[in-house]
């Protein structure tokens, strides 16, 4: 999802259908307010959430929306689908059609799914170079061998993408159950990692993204808005005590 940053003068020229030199005069006359303050700077960078007023006319006043959903198994991480219920069908928000998904989960994966209209936030969360950990609880068909831990830490070469996965942490919590933390989100990544040991994943549940955990009070299918501090927590290092 591309973030929508642009220069104030370009935005105004398009919105008011006026040439740049008229826009320059309008700005110098102090007729434009950016986030409540008069702005005369043509080069000023704005984004989709900048509040822009020209005289008494509000040109832009979009609010950022951040939602956490407890995605159930059997619901598709898409905004439209002909066959299955989508995660958007589970959300009740007036701006829901402007939202996009931050890191899809497979049809049969459950857990924390984030939705937003803020593409800068979602890009930060998804870019592998930002190394935001995504933690999953995994149930396997067969016993997990302790040797897996080193292989996960070293990374796996994925032929299709021609990449080696970033170091991942594997914590074995029962004979066939583990917590996995990965730093990127390649297609079917966790399943493919266990697939290297011919050990099929039978259940997969995302517990957290960065420092933001799924709210335990949300039943599968329920969602809620994030609080402002939680928007930052998703970008932070996790501080785990329990799950």
| Identity of the residue, 23 or 201, whose beta carbon is nearer to ligand URA in the bound complex | 201
We find the least distance from the C-beta atom of residue 103 to ligand URA, in angstroms, to be 8
We find the least distance from the C-beta atom of residue 132 to ligand URA, in angstroms, to be 14
The dihedrals phi and psi of 18, each to the nearest 5 degrees, come to: -135, 150
State the catalytic residue, choosing from 47, 81, 89, 106.
106
| Identity of the residue, 209 or 226, whose beta carbon is nearer to ligand URA in the bound complex | 209
We find the least distance from the C-beta atom of residue 144 to ligand URA, in angstroms, to be 16
Q: Which residues bind ligand URA (CB under 6 A)?
A: 105-106, 109, 188-191, 204
What is the C-alpha separation between 130 and 149, in angstroms, rounded?
23
CB distance 150 to 175 below 8 Å: no
| Identity of the residue, 12 or 76, whose beta carbon is nearer to ligand URA in the bound complex | 76
CB distance 85 to 74 below 8 Å: yes
We find the least distance from the C-beta atom of residue 186 to ligand URA, in angstroms, to be 8
| 3-state SS assignment for residue 115 | strand
Strands (DSSP E) found in the chain: 6-7, 32-34, 37-38, 45-46, 52-54, 57-60, 66-71, 100-102, 109-116, 134-140, 157-158, 163-164, 169-174, 177-182, 201-209, 212-213, 223-225
CB distance 138 to 192 below 8 Å: no
Residue that has been written with the tokens 């008011």 in this structure: 16
| Identity of the residue, 39 or 193, whose beta carbon is nearer to ligand URA in the bound complex | 193
We find the least distance from the C-beta atom of residue 2 to ligand URA, in angstroms, to be 23
106 assigned to active site: yes
| Identity of the residue, 26 or 69, whose beta carbon is nearer to ligand URA in the bound complex | 69
- Take residue 46 and report the two structure tokens written for it: 């704005």
Supply the residues annotated as catalytic: 106
């Amino acid at each position: 999802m591309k973030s929508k940053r642009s220069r104030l003068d370009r935005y105004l020229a398009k919105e008011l259908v006026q040439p740049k030199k008229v826009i320059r005069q309008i700005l110098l006359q102090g007729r434009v307010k950016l986030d409540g303050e008069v702005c005369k700077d043509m080069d000023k960078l704005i984004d989709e959430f900048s509040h822009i007023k020209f005289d008494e006319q509000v040109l832009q006043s979009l609010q950022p929306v951040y939602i956490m959903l407890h995605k159930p198994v059997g619901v598709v991480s898409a905004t439209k689908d002909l066959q299955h219920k989508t995660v958007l069908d589970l959300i009740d928000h007036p701006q829901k059609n402007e939202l996009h998904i931050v890191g899809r989960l497979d049809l049969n994966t459950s857990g924390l799914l984030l939705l937003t209209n803020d593409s800068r936030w979602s890009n930060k969360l998804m870019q592998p170079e930002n190394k935001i950990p995504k933690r999953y609880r995994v149930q396997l068909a067969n016993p997990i061998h302790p040797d897996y831990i080193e292989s996960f830490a070293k990374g796996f070469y994925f032929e299709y993408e021609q990449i080696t996965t970033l170091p991942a942490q594997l914590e074995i919590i029962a004979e066939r159950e583990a917590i996995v933390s990965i730093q990127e989100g390649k297609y079917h990544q966790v399943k493919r990692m266990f697939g290297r040991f011919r050990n099929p994943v039978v259940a997969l549940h995302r517990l957290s993204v960065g420092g933001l955990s799924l709210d335990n009070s949300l039943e599968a299918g329920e969602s809620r808005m994030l609080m402002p501090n939680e928007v930052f927590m998703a970008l932070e290092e996790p501080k785990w005590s329990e799950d």
